[in-house]
């Protein structure tokens, strides 16, 4: 009898617990639904920027203006956060405007010394808080690209650039036949957004990371038939 009674009590209390669980669950769902509908306000872009800026401090060469986005970065961030691609017409219009503004070398000479280019591609220093102003920056191309067969430490965020010039049939960078690929490569390195609006590659010329002469050296690394990239 006692056993039966305790079994009934146990059963009853389990049932009560289940009802309690169910009502907690219902309350949670109701709360979540109200959160999603109205109670939480999406912060404005200015509030987000102020919060981000508030969590960084300027140090050395690294200033807070780095957190200010260009118009392109704003458009691309918006596309990322909304999951909606930048409309084709807008993208092409913006790319074309950037491409048209690319400053090509005035002396008509697009390449320098591939040996210097290799040093720049290997060098990841520059623009960090601990760097000294006035020392030329590196480009760290290897952080994202494979370039030469001898360097086995490279990132793969970008495509392999091994045999970049050879594959594209560049035998002489100064010849008319190579003009299109030479200009494309210059534009790509100077301001990558000119060919791929939301590219993750740095704007080496446009953002003042590399000088015109340094871009010429990197161009030689990619295009000179004597460069190890093309061997
Ligand atoms: C932070 C990563 C990153 C760094 C650093 C970087 N790139 Fe890129 N690069 C990319 C990505 C990603 C792509 C391809 C996707 C795209 O369009 O942005 C690319 C594409 C390219 C292309 C176009 C390839 C083609 O087949 O058309 C060239 C050329 C290039 N990079 C050269 C360089 C050079 C030279 C350097 C150094 C001066 C460099 N990149 C540094 C990420 C990077």
> Could you tell me what percentage of the chain is helix, strand and coil, using 3-state DSSP and rounding each to the nearest 5?
55, 0, 45
Just give the CATH number of 71-230.
1.10.760.10
Please say if the pLDDT value at position 224 is more than 70: yes
Residue 6 pLDDT class (50, 70, 90 cuts): very low
Higher pLDDT among residues 194 and 29, named by residue = 194
The pick from 76, 170, 192 for probing ligand 1's pocket by mutation, whose C-beta has the most ligand atoms within 8 angstroms, reads: 192
pLDDT confidence bin for 38, thresholds 50/70/90: low
Span from the CA of 52 to the centroid of ligand 1 (angstroms): 28
Distances in Å between the Cα of 129 and the Cα atoms of 26, 57, 60, 61, 64 are: 52, 10, 5, 5, 11
- What is the widest separation between alpha-carbon atoms in the chain? 105
Strand partners, 88: none
Position 227 pLDDT exceeds 50: yes
| Lowest mean pLDDT across 20-24, 141-145, 218-222 | 20-24
Mean pLDDT for the stretch of residues 4-23: 44
Atom of ligand 1 nearest to the CA of 140: 5
Query: Which carries the bigger pLDDT value, residue 25 or residue 184?
Result: 184
Which range, of 67-76, 164-173, 221-230, averages the lowest pLDDT?
67-76
Are residues 114 and 224 in contact, defined by beta-carbon separation less than 8 angstroms? Answer: yes
Judge whether residue 135 has pLDDT over 50.
yes
As a whole number of angstroms, the distance between CA 32 and CA 39 comes to 10
Atom number of ligand 1 nearest to Cα 218: 35
Query: Which pLDDT score is estimated for 37?
Result: 52
Between the CA of 185 and the centroid of ligand 1 the distance, in Å, is 10
Nearest residue CA, atom 34 of ligand 1? 141
Residue ranges of the domains in the chain? 1-40, 71-230
CB atoms within 10 A of CB 54: 9
Residue-level pLDDT at 11: 42
pLDDT grade for 39, boundaries at 50, 70 and 90: confident
Under 8 Å between Cβ of 116 and 226: no
pLDDT at residue 28 above 80?
no
Share of the chain above pLDDT 70, in %: 84
Closest-CA residue, ligand 1 atom 8, reads 201
The whole-chain average pLDDT of the chain stands at: 88
pLDDT in tens, 62-113: 999 999 999 999 999 999 989 999 999 999 999 999 999 999 999 999 999 9
DSSP state for residue 181 in the 8-state scheme? H
For ligand 1, residues with CB inside 6 Å are 121, 139-141, 143-145, 157-159, 161, 185, 188-189, 192, 196, 199-202, 204, 218, 222
- Our measurement of the distance from residue 198's CA atom to the centroid of its chain's CA atoms, rounded to an integer in Å, reads 8
């Amino acid at each position: 009898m006692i056993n039966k009674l305790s079994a009934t009590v146990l059963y009853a209390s389990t049932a009560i617990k289940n009802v309690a669980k169910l009502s907690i669950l219902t309350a949670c769902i109701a709360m979540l639904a109200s959160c999603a509908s109205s109670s939480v306000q999406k912060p404005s872009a200015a509030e987000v920027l102020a919060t981000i800026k508030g969590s960084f401090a300027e140090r050395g060469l690294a200033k807070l203006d780095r957190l200010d986005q260009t118009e392109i970065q704003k458009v691309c961030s918006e596309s990322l956060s909304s999951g909606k691609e930048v409309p084709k017409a807008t993208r092409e219009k913006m790319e074309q405007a950037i491409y048209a503004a690319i400053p090509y070398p005035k002396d008509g000479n697009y390449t320098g010394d591939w040996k210097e280019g290799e040093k720049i591609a290997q060098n990841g220093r520059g623009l960090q808080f601990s760097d000294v102003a006035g020392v030329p920056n590196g480009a760290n191309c290897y952080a994202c690209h494979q370039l030469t067969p001898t360097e086995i430490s490279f990132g793969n965020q970008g495509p392999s650039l091994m045999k970049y010039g050879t594959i594209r049939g560049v035998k002489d960078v100064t010849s008319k036949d190579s003009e299109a690929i030479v200009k494309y490569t210059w534009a790509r390195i100077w301001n990558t957004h000119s060919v791929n609006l939301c590219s993750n590659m740095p704007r080496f010329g446009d953002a003042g990371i590399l000088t015109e002469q340094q871009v010429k050296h990197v161009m030689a690394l990619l295009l000179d038939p004597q460069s190890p990239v093309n061997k």
